[in-house]
Structure 1
Amino acid sequence: MANRFLTLFRMASFFVAACAAMPPAPAQTVSADEASIRMARQALNTAIEKRDIERYAAYWTANPEVIWASANGLVAGRDANIARTAKAFQNPGFLYGVRTPVIVQVNQEDGAGAAETGTWRWAYHRGGKDIEYQGRYLVGWRKVDGSWKVQSELYVQTGCKPSCS
């Protein structure tokens, strides 16, 4: 498990560095699949805003894997991810969470998979102040019975306002 996490972390670090260096994508026509994924992201952001774990989890595959930006690392499986997300939603200090997609790219070979990259913000009230964690993310989407579901998520923290120290 440790080797798998280390490998995923190395890949994620390379990915984040590569994304940071990429120029903005040229304007182009949005496919129906990309539009569906972007609408799913909006629904997921609304579920976070409303702290609706059932609506949020409805967008996961049967066995999602999430690497959280926190020290908790890899969380594998639907039940474990529901518990982890529900804990965040139930925290009275939780203020908000937003993911903003930058690029959604659908596999042109079979159309069954897609990658979404973007930025995230997640905020809590702790120690008498509001703290907003920020970073980049990568989500692996899989088309299941005609609907796009989250297969994997990776979050890397790149900042904190005000300082988290």
Structure 2
Amino acid sequence: MSLSAGAELAIRTARAAFNRALAEGDLAGVGAVLADKAMLVAGTDSAVLAGRKAQLAVWKRDFASPDRVVYERMPAQVIVSPVAPIAMEHGRWRGVSRTAAADFAAGSYTAKWRCFDGTWRIEAELFLTEECGGIFSV
């Protein structure tokens, strides 16, 4: 297996763990995949969450809600840099309410990853909302 293929597999494995953590409301699992200075730019309102601490505060509040939305990122492509320990992931995302499947938002995303001491972590995620229903309708 090439270094690039190994990195791609590691990133896809980390993404699967991140998705499981989101589905299970596992705050520590989410935090384990985020870099300290991870940035998130939300899809619809372009809200910016700067840093792991800020993101975890939002996820903690979200996980506490009984009618919370469960988000999933579905990677279509991972491009590993041949010159630095970084990679880009492109794919689709979807968020669906646990209590009403008609309440959803979905679209495209891009994520930048960096390998820190042998562990791939998310440095940035950028979302584009392309479809929505129910309470998410704009």
**Shorter-chain TM-score category?**
0.7 to 0.9
Do the aligned partners of 2:25 and 2:63 also contact (CA within 8 Å) in 1? yes
Partner of 2:16: 42
- 1:138 alignment partner, one of 110, 115, 123: 110
Query: Hey, what's the Cα distance between the residues in 2 that align with 1:89 and 1:42?
Result: 18
Structure-2 residue corresponding to 1:117:
90
By how many angstroms is 1:161 displaced?
Answer: 3.2
Map 1:24-63 → 2, pairs under 5 A: 31-63=5-37
2:48 paired residue number: 74
Q: Secondary structure at the match of 2:7?
A: helix
Structure 2 distance, partners of 1:50, 1:125, is 12
Structure 2: gaps spanning 5 or more residues:
none
Which amino acid letter does the alignment assign opposite residue 82 of structure 1?
Answer: L
Pairwise CA distance, 1:75 = 1.0
- Give secondary structure in 2 for the equivalent of 1:149: strand
State the AA in 2 paired with 1:36: A
Q: TM-score of the superposition, structure 1-length normalised?
A: 0.74
Residue-pair matches, total:
134
Normalising to structure 2: TM-score of the pair? Answer: 0.88
Partner of 1:90: 64
1:70 offset after TM fit, Å? 3.9
Structure with the bigger RCO (C-alpha within 8 Å, sep 6+) is: 2
User: 1:88: Cα distance to partner?
Assistant: 1.9
Post-superposition shift, 1:164? 1.5
Greater Cα offset, 154-163 or 139-148: 154-163
The one of 129, 132, 137 equivalent to 1:160 is 132
Residue by residue over 1:8-64, the C-alpha shift from the partner in whole angstroms, topping out at 9 and shown as x without a partner, is xxxxxxxxxxxxxxxxxxxxxx70000000011110111011010111111111111
Unmatched segments (≥5 aa) in structure 1: 1-29
